[in-house]
Amino acid sequence: MTEQLRMMAVHAHPDDESSKGAATMAKYVSEGVDVLVATCTGGERGDILNPKLQGDPYIEEHIHEVRKKEMDEAREILGVKQEWLGFVDSGLPEGDPLPPLPEGCFALQDVEAAAEPLVKLIRSFKPQVITTYDENGGYPHPDHIMTHKISMVAFEAAGDASKYPDAGEPYQPLKLYYNQGFNRPRTVALHEALLERGMESPYGEWLERWKSFERAERTLTTYIPCADYFEIRDKALIAHATQIDPDGGWFRVPMEIQKEVWPTEEYELAKSLVDTSLPEDDLFAGIRNN
């Protein structure tokens, strides 16, 4: 295939692109693939999760601007392009019963209407491959679930001239994937590798919580070898300073163990308009030589 390869990663908030599939994106950038991150919301209602920054009045008052600057830094580290879809963070409702979502937030938008800016971006950028979240959002955050919904509508509608006539010339992406990096096999493998080496594992509580989820195992179809880019992934994640504690659980597994035990990032092929054989080791399988 002589045409430029292009990949679009659709994410709910700034920082999601650095915690889900970041090493994959960095790998493809290094190979000359044009990679664009579409960020649905500004992360305005995200908590400050880094204990070193909690209580900072400037950050609390200007969280939207701060998170935008963090996204700029992460984008530069990963070498990707990035666009904002312009929706407002819904926050993560907590409590029993759950409180209502805030008026005007992303998760309360009409799905068909909210898909239009994504359709416009797809038609403009023309990615052959799109990555997004599964119907559970990866985890049940309302913005992640809404990201899934608009991604599915946009994938189908982008190539249909009768849909969204004001959003540009029709263009049909060829493959759509769900990010599945937080999967049980990977977590178990890293957990057991740490215990075998007499080290403490940060995944014990994760695995216990997993037992309480009434959720079927996902089908992992695509394993991208990207261990050489794990350091870039971590650097991009740390750039989201309000959202990640550099001394926290994300970084407790030594890099050499990660690379040895689980050197890939995983995806679930949800839609494909090209022939491919599973399992894959390339998101562009079936596209490169067609």
16 marked as part of a ligand binding site: yes
The arrangement of strands across the sheet holding 175-179 comes to: 81-87, 34-41, 6-11, 129-132, 175-179, 264-272, 222-225
Looking at the structure, give the CATH architecture of the domain made up of residues 6-183+218-272: 3-Layer(aba) Sandwich (3.40)
CA–CA distance, 267 with 9 (Å, rounded to integer) = 12
Which residues of the chain carry a pLDDT beneath 70?
A: 1-2, 212-216, 290
What is the CB-side half-sphere exposure of residue 63 using CA atoms within 13 A? 22
If you ran DSSP here, which 8-state letter would residue 107 be given? G
Q: How many Cβ atoms are within 10 Å of 186's Cβ, its own excluded? A: 20
pLDDT score recorded for residue 215: 63
Q: Is 141 annotated as a binding residue?
A: no
Q: Supply the pLDDT for residue 213.
A: 65
C-alpha 239: how far from chain center: 16
- 197-255: pLDDT as tens digits: 999 999 988 888 877 665 667 899 999 999 999 999 999 999 999 999 888 877 889 99
Q: What is the pLDDT of residue 249?
A: 77
- pLDDT of 65: 94
Helix 22-30 vs helix 230-239: angle between axes, to the nearest 10 degrees?
A: 120
Burial class of residue 198 in the structure, from the number of CB atoms within 10 Å of its CB (0-12 exposed, 13-18 middle, 19+ buried) = exposed
Mean per-residue pLDDT of the chain: 93
**64 known member of a binding site:** no
- Residue 3 has a pLDDT of 79
